[in-house]
Structure 1
Amino acid sequence: MIQEPLFTREPANPIVTPGQPAWRRAVSFNPAVFHDGKQYWMLDRCAGGLRPFICHLGLLRSDDGVKWEVASAEPVFTPAMCGSPIGSVQDPRVTRLEGRWWLTFAYRPYAWSSHPTGVGVPESHETDFPDLPPAPAADQKGSANVASGRSDNLTRSGLAVSDDGQNWSFHSWITSPDTDDRNVILFPEKIAGRYAVLRRPLEATSSSIWLSYSEDMRNWKEPEILARANFPWENNRIGGSCPPIRTDAGWLLFYHGVETTDASVKAVTYRMGAMLLDLQDPRKILARCPLPLFEPEAYYERVGLYIPNVVFPTSCLLEGDTLLLYYGACDTCIGLARASLRSMLDRLRANPC
């Protein structure tokens, strides 16, 4: 489906796979990667099993961004740090802002359990934890919430902070507990004097990318629509992927698009697209590629433990003219791909909005 490829996969892919310690032996994916001036660091979403699918954030380090080693015997950010040891923290994105490292993450108070099918989205159900609090009365009476889980167990997004990128503490919530709202990503600088985040509140049909502002990173304005799914490869939903990269041409935003390929077996394909946003007003989309720029092709991107046919970028570093794109593959392992920033901007400029 993609045009002439812009990205080249790292020959050593997958660069990170599940393994010991026990809390990351099932899956390791959707990484947040950053460089502190001395070496590369990675927060990976990892889990020791799928039933229940309790996810933590582990810490890895690297000298070259390719060969990684586990840097902490214990997770560095956990659901217990957000209020529930039987919950799940997911999909980290790290941004450097005002001299500190900021982490946005998704959180569910009570982890679900999953049964992969090998062909599509896993069959999942809420876990019957021994100490699980009773469901809200409205759910017990048979409300519509039951079909999609307890109304007090929706995914919300939060913010954590670190001075060294290794020791993290919970900062605040960005979204409310009564709305499924994830793929929250912090811009690396203030815009018109305000902090800004991308959001993706769940909608009835296909979810979109939204934008929200704050004066203090604790109280966030109601989100405004930024971009809706426009193309066939986005027919299920779109959401932000990596923290936006400032360029002379505008904010370079990579985003994921999900296509439902066979609803009868919940088969989907996750791909990556790109758009260019105005530096002063990111609600203005300057350019957007109609075709995906990166899609599942390699075996480890098409076949994995959790869900097939997934590339899910969550971090992109710019080194000179080179974009280093880190992504989760099949919600199982982690890959790296490279592209030229100049070529990327040329592709976008050829598709103005």
Structure 2
Amino acid sequence: MKKQIISISVSILFLLSVSCTTMKPTKEEKSDRIPAWALGEFVRPDIDHPVISPDPASAFYCPMNQAEVKWEESETFNPGAITHNGKIVVLYRAEDNSGQGIGKRTSRIGYAESSDGISMERRGEPVLFPANDAYADLEWRGGCEDPRVTMTEDGLYVMLYTAWNRKLARLAVATSRDLIHWEKHGLAFEKAYNGRFKNLFCKSASMLTAIKDDKIRIQKLNGQYFMYWGEHAIYAATSKDLINWEPVLDDNEELKVIAKPRKGFFDSIFTECGPPALMTDNGIVLLYNGKNARTDGNGDPNYPSGAYCSGQLLMDARDPLKVLDRLDKPFFYPEAPYEKSGQYAQGTVFIQGLAYLNNTLYLYYGCADSKVGVAMCSYRNK
């Protein structure tokens, strides 16, 4: 395993900066930027670089190419995150150099772990990737993208990721007991409604979770597992086994729209689901990625055209399809130089991973589709 060593003093400075609040902030303590129900505020650590960057030296034998491939040579971004054995594990999307342009390379899922959420030890080989298996036609040559990972009460890790064959992006499921060895289960919606949604373009799934025993765990709702998903709008789905999912439909038997883009706001093009949704005392909080319109007058002029900024939705805990509140301004947006330069030059903080360790929430995100960053906030669960 390779180590990226970051100064211990950096970690100490960060711990000092976030330890000033050890309980959930009260309404009076929170900034005017976000209401009392929202998670945050999230603060970047006092470092001038991302926590994961491409590594041209990493290579592994690709079973599809039947050759050694530098699998994380070009980009490392859009991570999932979870705690395991007292550490934070970050599962990140890595791209090789097999093509030019967004979506033209092959993506694989890499593994990094950290005791402090900042300094990372990375495995030299990916843990999930296209192979000569039953799912090759779903994943090759685009790869395995944008993982979100959660955990059941008995320690089963569930990953929802995008299977991309350069023709159609679809949600797929994998499970693991150690976050390294994964079993693929195929498309999440393949069997729903007699296969009606098997070939639906779908991505970005945020399963419902809650903090229990100081860990973020999958939470059932009304006896079923529940998730939000979607890019152009936010939809929902339920499952009895975490493998097979059924999209929630409206009265016309079409996909039930829960939230959608808003003209004149930072999320005027996309409302793309972020990390696993979190059950709180106030309701279900869903963090999402809003894309700002490129056309004058359609987006928020305070943010660059095409930029991805971060929003939050509050859902009713008894009716998860009901929106109670929504931020009109992003709580997190591209600021650091590495968030505004890279493969996606318009600027991106694509939030996707949420981990809980030592009364702190760690929010991991993709930086301009090129690197991985982190921001933290103090949060003590009751």
Q: TM-score range by the shorter chain?
A: 0.7 to 0.9
| TM-score, normalised relative to structure 1 | 0.76
In structure 2, the residue corresponding to 1:300 is in which secondary structure?
Answer: helix
* Stretch deviating more after TM superposition (158-167 or 174-183): 174-183
Identify if the C-alpha distance between structure 1 residues 303 and 262 changes in structure 2 by more than 3 Å, giving closer, same or farther: farther
Corresponding residue number in structure 1 for 2:44: 9
* Stretch deviating more after TM superposition (189-198 or 75-84): 75-84
Corresponding residue number in structure 2 for 1:314: 352
**How many angstroms apart in 2 are the aligned matches of 1:262 and 1:276?**
28
Corresponding residue number in structure 2 for 1:221: 246
Aligned-residue identity in percent: 28
Q: CA deviation at 1:341?
A: 4.3
Unaligned runs of 5+ in 2: 1-31, 35-39, 59-69, 190-196, 209-217, 249-255, 297-303
Corresponding residue number in structure 2 for 1:95: 150
**How many angstroms apart in 1 are the aligned matches of 2:87 and 2:105?**
31
**How many angstroms apart in 1 are the aligned matches of 2:351 and 2:236?**
19
Q: Deviations over 1:77-130 (max 9, x none)?
A: 0123532442311100000123200000011123xxxxxxxxxxxxxxxxxxxx
Identify if the C-alpha distance between structure 1 residues 305 and 327 changes in structure 2 by more than 3 Å, giving closer, same or farther: same
* Stretch deviating more after TM superposition (313-322 or 328-337): 313-322
How many residue pairs are counted as aligned between the two chains? 291
Q: 2:136 aligns with which of 58, 83, 86?
A: 83
**How many angstroms apart in 2 are the aligned matches of 1:3 and 1:219?**
39
**How many angstroms apart in 2 are the aligned matches of 1:321 and 1:272?**
22
Q: Deviations over 1:290-347 (max 9, x none)?
A: 11100011111111134431110101223465321110000000111122448xxxxx
Q: 2:112 aligns with which of 54, 60, 75?
A: 60
Q: 1:238 aligns with which of 271, 279, 287?
A: 271
The answer on whether the counterparts of 2:205 and 2:274 sit within 8 Å (CA) in structure 1 is: no
Which amino acid is the alignment partner of residue 64 of structure 1?
D
Corresponding residue number in structure 2 for 1:209: 234
Unaligned runs of 5+ in 1: 111-152, 202-206, 343-353
Please report the RMSD computed on the Cα atoms of aligned residues, expressed in angstroms: 2.2
The answer on whether the counterparts of 1:262 and 1:268 sit within 8 Å (CA) in structure 2 is: no
The answer on whether the counterparts of 1:321 and 1:341 sit within 8 Å (CA) in structure 2 is: yes
* Stretch deviating more after TM superposition (221-230 or 183-192): 221-230
Q: CA deviation at 1:37?
A: 3.0
| TM-score, normalised relative to structure 2 | 0.71
**How many angstroms apart in 1 are the aligned matches of 2:284 and 2:53?**
31
Identify if the C-alpha distance between structure 1 residues 340 and 64 changes in structure 2 by more than 3 Å, giving closer, same or farther: closer
In structure 2, the residue corresponding to 1:42 is in which secondary structure?
Answer: strand
Corresponding residue number in structure 2 for 1:143: none
**How many angstroms apart in 2 are the aligned matches of 1:6 and 1:38?**
24
Corresponding residue number in structure 1 for 2:225: 195
- 1:124-143 aligned at under 5 Å gives the runs none
Q: Deviations over 1:157-177 (max 9, x none)?
A: 011000111211102311344
- 1:30-45 aligned at under 5 Å gives the runs 30-45=78-93
